[in-house]
Amino acid sequence: MTLRGRLALFTALAVSLAVVLSAVAGWFVASNEMTTQVDKTLAHAWAPNARTPPQAQIKALNDWCHGVVAQPWMTTDTIPTVIFADGTSCPQSDTRAVKVVQEDLSVAGSGTFGADADSRSRDGQLADGEAVRVYVVSYGPVVFNGVRTTAAVALSQPLGPVQDALSRLAFITACAAALVIAASAAGALWIARTALQPVDRLTQAAEHIARTQEPGTTITVSGDDELARLGRSFNAMSTALANSRDSQSQLIADAGHELRTPLTSLRTNVDLLIRSEETGRAIPEGMRTKLFGNMKAQMVELSTLIGDLLELSRPLRARGSAPVAEVALHDIVSRALDRARLRGPGLVFTVDLSPWHVLADAHSMERAVINLLDNAVKFSPPGGAVDVALAGGVLTVRDYGPGIPPEDLPHVFDRFWRSPAARQLPGSGLGLAIVAQAVRDAGGAVALAPGGDGGGAKATVRLPGSSVPRPPAPPVPPGA
């Protein structure tokens, strides 16, 4: 069953259950009210006799039981029966007399009378089997056939009209409940269709992406409910997939473009060597040495480019997720400075490092710091200076080279991007992209800006952390 069908079914079942429970409860309330009204009618019919003197009551009782005369309390809608404490009743020959039960005998034996008379109401039957509602009230001490005893009077009223009325009510209620249930089923289906329209649009968009393999399809979203949030999440995911696919295609295209130059140079040099061997024409020693040096440089450039590509292709961790481990950033910067001094032997490094511990991948962070220092060394003039400082989680690297034009600043962290002034220098254009990715994975931020007075450029890296290392986690006990 579809989600729409299940939603409609559960809604219809819930409404149906509520309607049925309400109908049943209403029928029982009506039945109780009708029965209570019958009891009040019978009690009202007997009420005047509660004020009759005992002598008159005894005479009326004897006259009634001997069939002499009907009494005023014998109305047309009641069928009186006298019940004695010994279990006998009168009239005994009338098929419309009430069948006596043990409960009636206890009322008859109470001997109370008037306002204090014991009384009870119950369902019962006449001698001919007709269902009646019985009101039994104590008659008090009496003398019957010369014997002193106690008695009770049972007034009854047929339940046929009440049962007929309840049957009609049950039929009407059942018809109304059936109509309400049918309407609720139709309404539930309509509600399910209307409520799940955003899901239908979402499903169609997902099916389109699966069928065409083209992410980027979005749906119209309105409102702030759960379905709207799901739609916005889907749109964000689809857009992110499209951007990721575009970035992947762009990376492949850029990598292919960058790899073409060293590979073409290598192929040309190798073809030259092969042709020299095939023709027997030796290459001059100086040119041969230069040729091998060129080939080695191209191999180094290829190795660097492939390493940078592998670094960028590593899976990204979500922002704010737990990094690999805690590393000492000041130690990483110190090791990177040792390498930078070897690459720029004539440069003067001004260093001011304060302890700072960050949660990051040690390899990626070291690669990022090395790339920043390599850039500073590459663009520094001979005998120039490089300032390196680390304080409060802020790492700054400044050189005094030509600097970066303002129009190039928005692109410095793009992959394979190189400013016109740097295209003649060695490099792949991936160094700062690797820096940005490593810093982003560690939850930090990196920026590149003009150096200010004195020219050059200044890179600023901000990383969350602390000046002291975190205490080691307690060991996990065996079996935990």
460 and 344 both lie in a single domain: yes
Q: Is the pLDDT of residue 39 over 70?
A: yes
Q: Do the domain assignments include residue 480?
A: no
Indicate whether 174 and 44 sit together in one domain.
yes
Model-wide pTM > 0.75? no
> Range with the lowest mean pLDDT among 253-262, 274-283, 360-369?
253-262
Report the CATH number at residue 286: 1.10.287
Query: What's residue 168's pLDDT?
Result: 92
Claim to verify: residue 140 and residue 165 sit in the same structural domain: no
338/423: higher pLDDT: 338
The answer to whether residues 238 and 306 belong to one domain is yes
Q: Provide the pLDDT confidence category of residue 75 given band limits of 50, 70 and 90.
A: very low
Average pLDDT in the 243-268 region? 73
Residue 250 — pLDDT band, cuts 50, 70, 90?
Answer: low
Please say whether the beta carbons of 10 and 187 come within 8 A. no
Full 3-state SS string of 291-337 = HHHHHHHHHHHHHHHHHHHHHHCCCCCCCCCCCCEEEEHHHHHHHHH
Instruction: Tell me whether the omega of the peptide bond preceding residue 91 falls within 30 degrees of 0, making it cis.
Output: yes
- State yes or no: pLDDT of 450 exceeds 80: yes
Looking up tokens 């050189």 gives 399
d(CA 294, CA 211) in angstroms, rounded, equals 49
Q: Do 334 and 443 belong to one domain?
A: yes
Same domain flag for 134 and 274: no
Does a structural domain hold residue 320? no
Q: What is the pLDDT of residue 32?
A: 92
More confident residue, 163 or 243: 163
Q: From the CB of residue 215, how many other CB atoms can be counted at a distance below 10 Å?
A: 17
Residue 462 reports pLDDT greater than 90: yes
- Is pLDDT above 90 for 10? no
For residues 27 and 73, state if they share a domain.
no
Does 231 fall in a domain? yes
Give the residue from 259, 291, 312 where a domain finishes.
312
Measured CA to CA, the distance from residue 388 to residue 393 in angstroms comes to 13
Residue at which a domain ends, from 289, 312, 335: 312
Question: In this structure, what token pair is assigned to residue 448?
Answer: 């590149």
- Whether residues 379 and 282 share a domain: the answer is no
Q: What is the mean pLDDT of residues 78-92?
A: 77
- Considering the domain architecture, whether residues 380 and 394 belong to the same structural domain is answered as yes
**In terms of domains, do 244 and 131 share one?**
no
The pLDDT of residue 69 is 47
The Cα-based distances of 202 to 4, 65, 212, 260 in angstroms read 14, 87, 15, 43
Both 239 and 307 in a single domain?
yes
Mean pLDDT of 90-113: 81
Identify which has the larger pLDDT, 55 or 281. 281
Within a domain: 408: yes
Percent of the chain with pLDDT over 90: 15
CATH number for the domain spanning 439: value is: 3.30.565.10
Q: How far apart are CA 184 and CA 321, in angstroms?
A: 48
Residue 20 lies in a domain: yes
- pLDDT exceeds cutoff 60 at 209: yes
With 70 as the cut, is the pLDDT of residue 66 above it? no
Residue of 424, 427, 369 whose CA lies nearest to 395: 369
**pLDDT at residue 225 tops 70:** yes
Position 76 pLDDT exceeds 80: no
> What pLDDT, on a 0 to 100 scale, did the predictor assign at position 52?
63
Inside any domain, residue 212: no
Is-contact 136 154, C-beta < 8 A?
yes
pLDDT at 158 over 80: yes
Tally of domains in the chain: 4
> For residues 7 and 333, which has the higher predicted lDDT (pLDDT)?
333
Is residue 54 pLDDT above 70, yes or no? no
Contact (Cβ atoms closer than 8 angstroms) between residue 207 and residue 234:
no
DSSP states along 158-222 = ESHHHHHHHHHHHHHHHHHHHHHHHHHHHHHHHHHHHHTHHHHHHHHHHHHHHHH----------
Q: Residue 176 and residue 398: Cα distance in Å, rounded? A: 85
Is 213 contained in some domain?
Answer: no
In contact, 156 and 78? CB cutoff 8 Å: yes
Q: Which of 37-46, 292-301, 353-362 has the highest mean pLDDT?
A: 353-362
Nearest CA to 431 among 445, 405, 448, 412? 412
Looking at residue 193, what is its pLDDT? 80
pLDDT at 83: 85
Cβ atoms of residues 140 and 113 within 8 Å: yes
311, pLDDT greater than 50: yes
List the domain range (segments joined by +) for residue 59: 52-158
Report residue 397 as tokens: 């690297």
* pLDDT mean across residues, the chain: 80
User: pLDDT tens digits, residue range 404-415?
Assistant: 887 777 777 776
Across the range 28-36, mean pLDDT stands at 92
Lowest mean pLDDT among 14-18, 221-225, 388-392: 221-225
For residue 144, give the CATH number of its domain: 3.30.450
Residue 166 falls within a domain, yes or no?
yes
Domain end point (choices 138, 158, 178):
158
Rounded to an integer, the average pLDDT of 215-230 is 76
Verify that 402 and 340 share a domain, yes or no.
yes
Taking alpha carbons only, the member of 479, 371, 471, 350 closest to residue 430 is 371
Average the pLDDT over 133-144 and give the result. 83
Identify each DSSP E strand in 61-146 by its residue range: 81-84, 89-90, 119-125, 131-144
| pLDDT confidence bin for 432, thresholds 50/70/90 | confident
Q: What's the average model confidence in pLDDT over 231-245?
A: 82
pLDDT: is 239 or 30 the higher one?
30
pLDDT for the residue numbered 421: 54
pLDDT mean over 311-321: 52
CA 99 to each of CA 85, 137, 240, 312, 398: distance values in angstroms, whole numbers, following the listed order: 14, 15, 87, 100, 114
Count other C-beta atoms under 10 Å from residue 40's C-beta. 12
- Checking if the pLDDT of 313 tops 70, the result is no
